[in-house]
Amino acid sequence: MTPCLTRRRLIATATATAALAVGPLRARAQASVALQLSWLHSVQFGGSYIAADRGYWRDAGLSVRLDPGGPNAPVEPPVVSGQALVGISAADYTAAAVAQGAPFRIIGVAMQKNPFVIASLPANPVNTPADLPGKRIGMALANTPVLQALCTLNGIDIATIEVVPTQYDAAPLVAGQVDCLLCWQTDLPVAMTMRGIDNVTMLMADHGYALHSQTYIATDDSLATRRADLVALMRGEVRGWTDYLADPRAAAALTVRMFPDAGLDLATQEVQAERQVPLMFSDLTAARGFGSWTDEAVAANIATLALLGQTVAPSLWDRSILDEVHGGG
């Protein structure tokens, strides 16, 4: 998963260094590529596993290696250096990398809604941002800009909220040490549900926090010289995630079967699989296809990124690969 700075990593030095090392990428004849995932293997990437399992990339003449991410496996450096053709990142991390000179474009958006939530318990719920003043929120201090952005968007004075530094764990909330948590919809709330603990989540995306997550990134060089590979990879992704939508539980079962040593619990993966459906699929994806976005969404992302101290142009998003995929080109 890639929900927050506690589950991601600092990319400044690694990306800046790798940006200097971009060299010629492999020719079409070498149709073996890597897709760099943003976190450890789980159903978060279920559509990619389906694409691999059902031969969708093989059908397109491509062999795709799925490289897991993690706290010590950043996404951006392998992509900028050419070790991975595509990486799964997020708009804020891509913006930070581009500011350091990385030649990235976002070529697809898996999560239509950002998965950040404020999680609380039913006895003391946070249903809207207006419920936050006077509350103790458990979170990593590194995510203070995220909370500040939410507050700014909703006219809340962040000084009225007590920020309590916590590890990325539901325990402080369950123990009553905090009133709410800043986390992803698909992890800590799922963990509480699996323990039989009722919880309430307020999706920040429903309150103005527009930031594309689980985005597909590629370099300008790949867009210029490896378009056939990019189209083939994204075509497999679209087919895999379309199948995922039809049967999320099957995707969960496949995930557990493919990675028997990852310590994945089937019931937990099934709940996660269901909960990420409304984040990834919408009327827009039904009409235009998986991974799509609108100009309005880009404008909202740019506004949110500005609140996070990042400046980007609309050209960071490049539709050309998905246009070929969805247009049958």
List, as one string, the DSSP characters of 169-203: -SHHHHTTS-SEEEEETTSHHHHHHHTT---EEEE
Which range of residues forms the domain containing residue 176? 116-207
pLDDT band for position 72 (cuts 50, 70, 90): confident
- 182, 207, 232: which is the final residue of a domain? 207
Round to whole Å and give the CA distance between 168 and 4: 9
- Mean pLDDT across 98-127: 97
234/8: higher pLDDT: 234
> Does 301 lie in the same domain as 227?
yes
Residue 30 has pLDDT above 60, yes or no: no
Residue 221 has pLDDT above 50, yes or no: yes
Structure tokens at 198: 């009722």
Side chain identity at 248, as an amino acid letter? Answer: P
> Does 133 lie in the same domain as 103?
no
7 within a domain of the structure (yes/no): no
pLDDT band for position 328 (cuts 50, 70, 90): low
Tens of pLDDT, residues 141-169: 999 999 999 999 999 999 999 999 999 99
Residue 10 has pLDDT above 80, yes or no: no
Give the model's pLDDT for residue 71. 86
Task: List % helix, strand, coil for the chain (3-state, nearest 5).
Answer: 45, 15, 35
> Does 201 lie in the same domain as 243?
no
- Mean pLDDT across 230-242: 98
Instruction: Check residue 41 and report its DSSP letter.
Output: S
- 158, 184, 207: which is the final residue of a domain? 207
Name the burial class of residue 249, with classes exposed (0-12), middle (13-18) and buried (19+) by CB atoms within 10 angstroms of its CB.
Answer: middle
Four-residue CA torsion sign, 41, 323, 219, 25: positive
Sheet of 213-219, strand order: 63-67, 32-36, 86-90, 213-219, 104-111
- Mean pLDDT across 283-302: 97
> Does 280 lie in the same domain as 239?
yes
> Does 192 lie in the same domain as 320?
no
Name the domain count of the chain: 2
> Does 220 lie in the same domain as 153?
no
281 within a domain of the structure (yes/no): yes
Give the model's pLDDT for residue 19. 40
The domain that holds 233 is classified in CATH as 3.40.190.10
> Does 217 lie in the same domain as 69?
yes
3 within a domain of the structure (yes/no): no
> Does 133 lie in the same domain as 166?
yes
SS3 category, 90? strand
- Residue 77 near residue 207, CB atoms below 8 Å: no
275 within a domain of the structure (yes/no): yes
251 within a domain of the structure (yes/no): yes
> Does 301 lie in the same domain as 258?
yes
> Does 283 lie in the same domain as 139?
no
5 within a domain of the structure (yes/no): no
> Does 217 lie in the same domain as 321?
yes
- 188, 207, 226: which is the final residue of a domain? 207
